[in-house]
A and B are shown apart, each in its own frame.
Chain A
Amino acid sequence: MMSWTEVLNALAVLGAVLVVAYFTAYLDLCLATRAAGVSLTSLPKPLGILQPLCITFNLLTKRDNRLARADHLLFRTAPIVAFVTILMVFGIIPWGQALIGRDLNVGLFFFLAILGPVTITLMNAAWGQNSKNGVLATFRAGAILFSYEITIGFAIIGPVMEAQSLSLEKIVAAQHSIWYIVLQPLGFAIYLVAALMMSFRPPFDIPLAGSELAGGALAEYSGGRFVLYKLALNALAFLLAAIGVALFLGGWQGLPLIGPFLPDWLWFLLKSFGLLALMLWCGYQLPRLRVDQMLALAWKILLPLALLNIVLVGIVALFV
């Protein structure tokens, strides 16, 4: 039934996206600063929590450029579509017990399917600028799409097999005795790598490569659209970490031995940001891969491993 609670629900999801995107930006900033060998004390107090805000305001003062000779329809809508798409997927995140935007019974599948268009928007953004770097970025984004979509698809089959449901609520609930990271460490590792690929983070930021394509797909954005796209990409990174937590790290449930002495949503946020930090930190340690290296990694290593993981999970599910 359509009611006001649903509208409030949607607004809450929107607010959650903005908040987590902000903190993702902050986390990213901290990690990038750490990676550059700089301590956090150089950031504005307390701990530079306002730094993303300063940067955002600075960017918002810029004029939103109208490019001459660009494909305006694609170029100008891309950040909006990306943001809305990611917003939709946020609805299925189980923040806590019965704290979920909408528990779809095909939730996980929904997550996979809806994130495809995010890549499309990135391609639109790159294609729409009508520049040569943009064309290269378009093809890069298109070329890598399937490699991680299929890999991540196989990686999340493991928890689905264990929990025997596609609903994220049920998958989280099924981990009350043991987290799936214990049963499927391989699947977890594969998920992490594929999630890094899917969130366009280093070392897989191939379509956005700052040094090669001079910014790639986002190079021509300025002002509000740039901020919106950054927001969407940050939200995407958090989203992938959050789904990873729901799939492998017991979701909103407390630590097995310590027990739930924190609110469930807080557990979920802590775990998600922890996993996000792990992902981003690993990424910053590696050189940016070439497209062919990334494809080889996804198709030749991760995908067979994911298949092996499915077999192992099947054996575990049958005999344990």
Chain B
Amino acid sequence: MIKSLRSKLSGNNFLLFVTIVLFFVLYISGMVIFQDKGFGKPQVFLNLFISNAGLIIAAVGMTIVLITAGIDISIGSVIAMTCMLLAWMMEKKGMDAWISIVIVLIVGVVFGLVQGFLVSYLNIQPFIVTLAGLFFARGMTAIISDEMITITNKAFLGIANAKIYIPFISTVTKKGKVIHPYIYPSVILAIAVLIIAFVILKYTKFGRSIYAVGGNEQSALLMGLNVRRIKLKVYALNGFLAALAGFAFALNSCGGFVEQARGFEMDAIASAVIGGTLLTGGVGNVIGSLFGVMIKGTIESIITFQGTLSSWWTKIAIAALLCIFIILQSIFASLKRKSK
């Protein structure tokens, strides 16, 4: 029986399986424990997406970078810079919302290209390159404005506040108000990014070469892949996704300030690792990272619903999960070596 299960759930799929099961275990236990408080409402589930739309996009980008055995710790700062730049262009320069959005996305790509160039063509450790990126982007954020800028642009707030109601389901509040569950455009953006990234990774040549580069750079070279170019593209893509995450983030926070999204890159890395991505490269799945994000969100919700526990327990729970998943991964790695 073990054997048949093993063939079905070999290696990395098993890790993904564990992640998904863990999410459902957590969520269902939340529903059971906080039944009377309304944890089972569809809106609670949708809130996981609403509150974490930016993180989902960032985690997708991070997963792709991690698959190439790289890392990008600059994204939290890039998100802050994006929010600030968006707010500054629209509020201080009176620019059009859509033009501002396009500009920040271009800035993100350029930022990623520079980092990618340093990593792939000058062979500098990605950690150091993106550490410099982290400081640079955070510094630039403060240079643009060290005071908070509130976004009041009508078009932008229009997107931010556009509730998309889900028909046919509704809940009634204590005061007798009927409320349909809803999402915001940022959720659709996040899901679209997730699906596109999934398709690219699984079904395109570029996607498969990303795995090849991360799995073994030497053999990828021998296979005739242009490793440097692929890495450059990956970092540029991640820069783009970081800026897009920043846009989603700005939709949620409606303003730019220096301290925004501090430590966000670590949340993205944690989500990817819980989702089964190996830091050694070659293995990873954006669906897993989505569940990584949702597990974090569920733990946060459970702690808020509980009401008396300190919210810092979220961090401890994530730490415990990371530990478990890293141990699982290393067991799998040794298993692989044995079977070779």
Do A and B actually bind? no
Q: B-contacting residues of A (Cβ < 8 Å)?
A: none
